[in-house]
Amino acid sequence: MTKDYIQIGIEKGIISFNEDRSVITYCYQHKKRNYNNPEEKVQAVAFLQLIMDYNYPESQIQQFVPVTMGSEVKEADIVVYEDRMCIKPLILVECKKQDISEAEFQQAINQAYSYAFALPNDVKYAWVTSGIKNEYFEVDKTILG
């Protein structure tokens, strides 16, 4: 039987929902998001897995992290940091909806790499997930140097 990350997250006070479960709140960051968005459902579970399965402290995980790419500012879904000050990024997580095509998933991998290279300091790993499919990569910025 698989873990019900959402229910456990609610019970532990990590996340909460409004009455009709259309809005999820990530309690530590006080961020509210549209839970009707299929990508948000994947992101919520990935966030909870990082805490529950991999024991990363919630204080060292940031969501919706601004990433400057040229003149545009994009948003990395989740960044896990090595340090309490959240300066040294360790893992960048890119989440996509479950029913994503293989081509879209490959595009998400490229997106994760571009975010990892655009973030300040060295991201060590990238995780791309659709909730069904997962790919993990080591990021080495020195190969471009």
Tokens of 79: 């960044």
**Residue 2 pLDDT greater than 90, yes or no:** no
Q: What percent of the chain has pLDDT over 90?
A: 86
Dump pLDDT digits (tens) for 118-130.
Answer: 888 889 999 999 9
Tokens of 52: 């529950």
Give the model's confidence band at 69: pLDDT under 50 very low, under 70 low, under 90 confident, else very high: confident
Higher-scoring residue by pLDDT: 143, 23: 23
Quick one: average pLDDT of 81-106? 96
Amino acid at the residue 144: L
CA distance 107 to 22: 28
Strands (E), the chain: 15-17, 23-26, 31-34, 61-69, 72-81, 89-95, 125-129, 134-138
Quick one: average pLDDT of 74-88? 95
Residue 143 pLDDT: 61
**What domains lie within the chain, and their CATH numbers?**
39-144 (3.90.1570.30)
Dump pLDDT digits (tens) for 18-53.
Answer: 999 999 999 999 999 999 999 999 999 999 999 999
Where is 14: in which H helix or E strand?
none
